[in-house]
Copies of this chain bind each other. A is one copy, B any other.
Amino acid sequence: MPAIRGDRLLDDLRTLARFGGLAPGVDRIALSADDLAARRWLVDRLAAAGLDAGMDRLGNVLGRDPRAARAILVGSHSDTVPRGGWLDGAMGVIYGLEIARAFREAGGGPVGIDVVSFQDEEGTYLPFLGSRAFCGTLKDGEIDAARAEDGRTLADALAPLAGEPAPFRLDPTRHVAFLEAHIEQGPRLEASGQKIGVVTGITGIRRFRITATGAANHAGTTPMGMRRDAGAALVRLAAWIGETFPALGGPETVWNIGAMTFRPGAANVVPGEAEMAVEMRDLDVAILDRMEAALAERVAGESRDGVAIAMVRTTLVAPTVMGREIVAALSAAAVAAGHPPVLLPSGAGHDAMEVGRVLPAGMLFVPSIGGISHHVAENTADADIVLGCQVLADAISRLMQNLA
């Protein structure tokens, strides 16, 4: 098993955190000057590790092992959300760099290590831009149509990269698997006291906007029996969700009513309109189908007493199940390191969700202190960062033995 060097890993992680560094935290949004400077630094580090490294005209960075015809791809993304943390994405990229070095130092073999940092995973312009381009799943016109919340177009943001090579593409004759390490971004590892999470899959997401339309009326002069109260109708529906979804879902299912608004929204006016946002996530499409069908049926049933309720699905993301052999290798490596893993779905999206649709993929999680991410306070203990990288290296070594 190649031995990774924790000091070198942490040094590189801390150096990367200086690009857009806030101390604490990092502001390195996709295609900003700090993001591109960080990616050029990464190209140099990959080249120094002996890889053929470059950046394409989307800002994807790829380092290829020049001695191997087949390779396991390791990495994540190095862009951040505004005022984000220093580990989200960055850790998975530097794990790739360190593992490439460790395998090279151990002498290499017929299957090499390629390292990647995908562009704009966080969706400043277009979520998963880099990994979707890499996988060939971008649709015509998506890049031309994309723009940031502030109105800036992706096309403008890409202009400084016009002289770079065409976008890198996954090579099915070369790439045999994708491994992405990441902070958990949730509380489960910390709460369990365990150090390694092995991701079983990335959950599907369905979001719904549910609107009720009744009639706004004077709340003092309109008797209770003559009201068309849109707010009360959504309260009944929301309460039903809280009572019913636990039995409809599986043990890992999550759902959320994240937004609720009554209009006009005055204490003395019966709400004439009300709107809420409902989200559900699970790895199992059958569970999501069951929950969606029950919700739709209940929405139809609550459309009464002069209140019409409408439900529109606003988001549909299919689950991505992680490669079975990869889950097994990650789990075996964690056990061998003395840290039996927590097997868990990822409720957040990752580049592995996109790559995993076209190539066997796997993810390793390390604990997030306080479950915090997308925030300058995001952090993980140094020892956990080093442990995670060594477990990932061991898992890759095990996969290579199966492939050899």
Contacts and interface: CB of A to CB of B under 8 A. Distances in A.
B218 A348 contact: yes
Interface residues of A, number: 59
Contacts of A246: 224
A242 B256 CA distance: 22
A70 to B, nearest CB: 33
Given A185-B218, A236-B239, A242-B236, A258 B254 contact: no
Copies of this protein in the assembly total 2
A381 interface: no
Nearest to A187: B226
Interface in A248-265: 252-262, 265
A348 B221 contact: yes
Interface string A216-249: 0111111110100101100110110010001000
A179 B265 CA distance: 34
Residues of A contacting B: mostly: mixed
Interface stretch (A94-102, A129-137, A269-277): A269-277
A319 to B, nearest CB: 12
A349 B207 CA distance: 43
A268 to B, nearest CB: 6
Given A239-B239, A277-B267, A279-B267, A254 B219 contact: yes
13 contacts: A191-B226, A207-B268, A218-B374, A219-B256, A222-B371, A223-B252, A229-B256, A235-B235, A256-B267, A257-B262, A258-B266, A258-B268, A267-B278
The 7 closest A-B pairs by CB, nearest first: A220-B347, A186-B221, A239-B239, A219-B256, A267-B277, A235-B238, A221-B347
Given A188-B221, A219-B258, A268-B279, 5 more contacts: A218-B348, A220-B346, A222-B347, A258-B262, A258-B270
